Structures are given as C-alpha cells and as structure tokens.
Amino acid sequence: MGRDDGAGRQITVGTADDSETPILHIDMDAFFASVELLTRPELRGLPVIIGNRDGRSVVTSATYEARRFGVGAAMPVSKALRLCPQAVVVPPNYAAYAHYSSEVMRLFSDVTPLVEQLSIDEAFLDVSGARRLLGSPSEIGSLLRRRIEHETGLTCSVGVAASKFVAKMASTRAKPDGLLVVPRADTLAFLHPLPIRTLWGVGPSTEESLRRLGLATIGDIADVPIGALRSAVGNAGAAKLQQLARGLDPRSVETTRIEKSIGHEVTFHDDVTDIDRLRVELLRLADKVAVRLRERGWVARTIGLKVRWSDFTTLSRSHTLPEATSVGRRLHEEAVALLEGLRPLRPVRLIGIRAEHLAPVGDGALLWDPDEDWREAENSVDAVRRKFGSAALAPASLLRESKGGAAGPRTGSFPDD
C-alpha cells in the first residue's frame, strides 16, 4: 500500500495493486506560496507567509518551512509572525493563482473528461476510461505529477483509491510531492489506524464528543455500536461517520458542481460595537449575495449569519424560510434578526451573510410571494446596473460612507462550506 518515507509522508514505492482504484485526488502543494516562489526563487527553503502585514490580514498560505513552526491558513498574520518571526510575508496575487489553476485543470482534462474541481488547487479525477491509452491509475497519477512540474514548475500530491473519500485521505498522507495508492483490499487497513480528527466531518467539537466515548481512531468509530455514536453526533452524523470509517463512499466524480452556498463577509479594521453600523454592513452584504443569486438563477431557502468577536470566537446562526428567495431585502431582514438574537453584543471583528440550500428559480410553486414588490424593484436595479455599471444604484443607506472602514470584504463561499 505504501510506506513512511521518514519525512512524515506515506507514499507508494514500486508497484501497487491499482486494478480497482480508478479515483485520483490531486492536491497542489502549498499552492499560493508555491506560485509566489516561481518568481521569487531566492525565497526557496525559507519560511514564507502569503498575506499582508497591515490591518487584520490572515494567512492565505504558507510554505512547509513556515508550517513547521505551527503557521497555518486562516491564522492572523500577527500570530503567525509571533510563531515564526523570521518568516517573509508576501502579499497575495490572485490573478497569478487563477492562471496557474487553469493550467493545472487543463492538464487534468487532457487525461479524462471526468474532472470534479473542488477548489482552485484540487480536484477528483475518474480515470477508468483512460487506462487503455495512458496506463494504470498510478501510472496516470505519476504522469500528471511529471507534466504539472514540467509545464508549471509546481508540485502536487496524488491519492489513488477506490473511492473519493479514501483518495483524498491518501493525497493528504502523501504530502508534499508524493503519491499514495490504497488498493481496494487494503482500504480498512489504511483507514483504521488513523486518528479520528482526520475523518471528514470531525471538527474540534465533534472530536471532543467522540473522545468522551473513548474513541481515538477511525477503526474505533467503525466498531462502536451505532447507538453510542448517535448519542454523540446525532442520527445523521453517526450514520455518515460510520459509513466513512468502514470505507463506504458510493459518490461518483461529478463534472458539474452546484454551489452549496453563496456568501460575503467583511473584516473590520477596528472592532465594531454600533448595532446600526452592523445593520448597514449586513445590508451591503445582503445586496451582494442577492445579486450573485439572481445572476446564477438561484434562490435560497436558508439564510446564515457569521459573526466573529474581537477574541476570535466565531458564531454561526441560520434560519430556514417558508419560501426560498433571492431578494436582498429579505436576506437583510433575516440576517438582522439573527444578529439581534446574539445580544448582548460584543465587539465584532468580522460579519458575514450566507445563502444556503440553493435551488433553481421556479423549482416548486410558491404558495405566496411575500417579496413580490421588493423583487420587482431589485430586478429593475439589476437592469440599471447591467447597463451603467454596478455602482450606478445602491440602497440609500449605503450611500453614506460608514466610518472605520473595512479590510475586505472577502468574497465567496464561507470557509466551512
């Protein structure tokens, strides 16, 4: 199956039985940092942090030399520099990352049309149909590693397995710059010794609940009575975790991906305690989310609020609507209601809105349309913006520039999606 190479990686050396392992998970190594090193070769071998020193920037990526000091993604840059004061901080260049991402994904598509891109730097591939022309799955994985390095100068890690879940686990074990094949017959031997925190869906709180049951490894989760597991993580969570722990993952590689959520958030330069200021920011964010929903032809059934206090404690709250919507005013009202439920208000560092449980417009008849008037108004605003630009119209309350500024907003799906 693979061996520990002495550097903390588990990799395949020589041949392995990949006859029933058509799924590849390919993950670029420290992608953003590695792209920056292409034009800054003098920084190779040094601890490098991608982020900004100013304001409240967080670590976007870091080289493995920096990670050895405990530096990790989403960590405040100020904390990262306390852990690794000798680190070099490089500002992010998202245009370069997008360029190299498209090059890598093009190489994947040269091998198979069955590519499921998970993020800017990772994807699942089903190479079942490529065997006749390109060889076995492990040979295809090795081929892609060589082509990526030759054509881009970047390295990646590859997991080869019978299922998506195990392939992703394998690529993680092979990092950095390695390949690990997990034969179908060895799936449980690979999974069961691993700590429970490596299992999909096990965050810090879930891990704590499982450890209270005396569970330490994935094998423990596979063997524990389902009733005990339900008491810790609920019915749905227990069934999902035990299936994965037993190596059961029937999902196929999906070439079309529906967004699970659409969100926007903003990090403030200075902590905010003024509820009116927060309401205005929520209106701004709700408007952005609603525009993206309408552009994609989606409506959202659930509205989520994310708040991070000044001490970095982060809370998420959500509410499911009786009728799905893409109206910014409705998103704003629901988010403000969720915010009011968090009183007493503490100093706020970050706030965000998330639209979840997305469905195509018209997917199910409305019993009533409580947002009809606002929907017509916002559709009219969309038409004006398309003709004259996105800044042509905005809610009146947003025309008054709020004091204090913001270091953002950061756009896109929330990190926990």
Binding residues: 27, 121
User: From the CB of residue 415, how many other CB atoms can be counted at a distance below 10 Å?
Assistant: 12
> Which DSSP string do the residues of 321-370 spell out, in sequence order?
EEEEE--HHHHHHHHHHHHHTTPSP--EEEEEEEEEEEEETTSS--S--T
CA angle in degrees (0–180, nearest 5) for 183-187-193 = 130
Give the CB-side neighbour count of residue 17, counting CA atoms within 13 A: 7
Annotated binding site for Mg(2+): 27, 121
For residue 299, the cross-strand partners are 359
Helix (H) or strand (E) holding 284: helix 275-296
Question: What is the C-alpha separation between 304 and 316, in angstroms, rounded?
Answer: 7
**Dihedral pair phi/psi, residue 334, rounded to 5°:** -70, -40
Beta carbons within 8 Å of 361's beta carbon, 6+ residues apart? 297, 298, 299, 326
Beta carbons within 8 Å of 352's beta carbon, 6+ residues apart? 263, 264, 265, 266, 285, 305, 306, 307, 409, 414
**Dihedral pair phi/psi, residue 337, rounded to 5°:** -60, -40
Strand pairing report for 156-161 and 179-181: parallel
Q: Which residues are catalytic?
A: 122
Give the 3-state secondary structure of residue 178: coil
> Token pair of 195, please?
């700590």
Residue reference for tokens 């919507």: 325
Question: What is the C-alpha separation between 35 and 100, in angstroms, rounded?
Answer: 8
> Which DSSP string do the residues of 222-239 spell out, in sequence order?
HHS-HHHHHHHHHHHHHH
Residue reference for tokens 């100068």: 153
For residue 308, the cross-strand partners are 314, 350
Residue reference for tokens 């179908």: 184
